Chain A
């Protein structure tokens, strides 16, 4: 069983219908709060799976003052680029060429590793080592795509290239096995060619097998389209009914609505027109787009006999295959590995994100592919307090050891049923104002196994996130290396323990309503849990997956004011940051889930 590290997931308000889109102004939120007090958020409800996110995944809308999650933001694509060659693809190309890289970027059809273009004839000539200047010569002759991960080579499916560049264009002209196929343009020209038409006419007289071979998806579609267009345009096929509709083009939006009205009962149409439409004939010849399905699978069975199961492609391999318009329709038949083709890389995107309510942009990356900067990046982590969980072992603290947290209770250790355990929750304030945090947790966790939960200090204040230099100056003498500051969570924890050690010697006791310890912009409080026993009675349903994980729903209510809390240093920082609008009282409330650990079975 994987070791469970404690986690905090936050519920996005978008999943809550009552608060959807409502800005948290003080008047309405009291009502909301009252509503929310009524019911406890259940982290195990199936719906919760879709609303809980780690803090990093959440964004924050500054105008709505609300958390936004990946599910509720609306995304807009800024740039398309190939993840392999990192070239930007203009959106005009995207419409004509599709959503895959049209350079020489391919993935292995077997293992999806990247394919490299290599010369097939590698001449291990020892003389070349001595004279490296003449070595331009060996890089000639046919080329193949090879995978350096699984050693697959495009020669296995009989594909070789004459040039080492523009592989995509070359591959489009090659069938598996090396026989050429026509590109869309050539095919269009061929259709116009009278000699080809004559050939088609004669072959259609002979038999069906060879003509069906000629029809790949693209051709079939083009033929069908031309056929139906002819049928519609032909005054003989459906004379009065369609003629009444005037000279509407086949592809015009009005004709679409006409077709829709035909299919949806057609009260606007007279019955006659409908019956005449039914008289329209279907395609009968290959050049009209008719293609017989291959029901004879003896060839496939024969191949399967020869190659066995190893010769067939797996579902993942088939799913990764791009739709190949150059081949005939497969009609759901299974495929062999020999039929797989190199996969051109799917393009990736850079996307900006908008608030779903006020339509303000809350995240916008730079358009250039190579830059990683963001023009706008309003992440929840810089607005709402982060919650770090750490097991707390009281016995070690009583012993006066400095390493109380990592003493007996190892992180990831199983929780003993019915034995009180303590966890330190460290709230870290990212904003420049002092925040007042109010916590609410149900006395018992929802679900089949109700563990008892006590938040020892549900109301507390966390000091503002002042400039790191202030702290550095304040603590200057104490520790040598404190200057660089901003150490993130790790550094935070370290200092916490450091202080804790000294405090423990002063006799830090578990006390209701008391903060365990506090620092510059963080506060640690203690949560006591009595894990439930996972013993199942006769007739109970067996333990479901992850039902042994102790998860606590916690309602966090954060309140802060624009006015800086008395400190003049804070004042200036806050004023600079928030400007004139900082004078109002703000609050934010949300549910989060604390995953503490697994209970011993």
Chain B
């Protein structure tokens, strides 16, 4: 995206406080919902164009919203990560399903996320692959280089690592606050607070 007003800064800051890098690639922006105060760093790819293809077959009928990727508040998508809605055969036809993400979700650099749902307060490390239709609950830490297999369910307070991911520990009681991303949110943007 070539910006007309390059000196305006690296990020586009929306009214709801989202900071979206100009160098991020967002496809199908009308299908991407941002909850606010979310940071999208450069070179992030969000495949909002991969929407449900068989709308009629959804039994809920009125589900006409085309949201492909929905992201909560205070999420942080690091440089080079990719969010891609998962797809599968549904009643004989291939369709994509929406990717939902809660609040305070950190996605590390170079990670690929194809989960069906990610809860709140989730930390996904560097170069992690989250397989299709994985379900990640709240307060989960996924260490660097993990490959979460498709369809895996990761319950709350899990620390997972490995290829394929296996449970290696539990988030301690005192570790909940470390998932907060409000501080990190302030350190990026067009006029970031002085930080590393």
Contact = CB atoms under 8 A, between A and B. Distances in A.
Contact of B173 (A111, A125, A374, A406): A374
B7 interface: no
A588 interface: no
Contact of A112 (B166, B173, B186, B187): B166
A136 B91 contact: yes
A55 B174 contact: yes
A114 B92 contact: no
A522 B152 CA distance: 42
A124 B91 CA distance: 12
Contact of A129 (B92, B156, B174): B92
Contacts of A494: 183, 186-187, 193-196
Interface residues of B, number: 41
Given A70-B172, A490-B184, A113 B194 contact: no
A83 B91 CA distance: 27
Interface string B156-191: 111000001011000011110110101110110000
Contacts of A492: 183
A493 interface: yes
B196 A406 contact: yes
Interface in B135-162: 137-139, 147, 149-158
A55 B180 CA distance: 17
A248 B187 CA distance: 76
A494 B188 CA distance: 12
Identify which of B132, B164, B184 gathers the most chain A CB atoms within 10 Å of its CB: B164
B161 to A, nearest CB: 13
Nearest to B179: A488
A381 B158 CA distance: 20
Interface in A442-473: none
A498 to B, nearest CB: 5
B27 interface: no
Nearest to A374: B173
Nearest to A345: B153
Given A56-B178, A57-B172, A372-B138, A498 B194 contact: yes
Given A56-B172, A56-B178, A487-B183, A497 B194 contact: yes
Nearest to B175: A56
Contacts of A84: 153
Contacts of B149: 111, 113-114, 147-149
Contacts of B65: none
B174 A56 contact: yes
A149 B164 contact: yes
B93 interface: yes
B131 to A, nearest CB: 7
Given A149-B131, A149-B164, A481 B193 contact: yes
Contacts of A487: 182-183, 186
Contacts of A420: none
Given A138-B92, A481-B193, A132 B155 contact: no
Contacts of B153: 83-86, 114
A489 B183 contact: yes
B92 A135 contact: yes
Minimum-distance CB pairs A-B, first 8: A135-B92, A487-B183, A379-B174, A149-B149, A128-B92, A56-B174, A113-B149, A491-B183
13 contacts: A55-B174, A56-B175, A57-B172, A83-B154, A112-B166, A133-B91, A148-B150, A149-B147, A370-B137, A372-B139, A379-B173, A486-B182, A497-B194
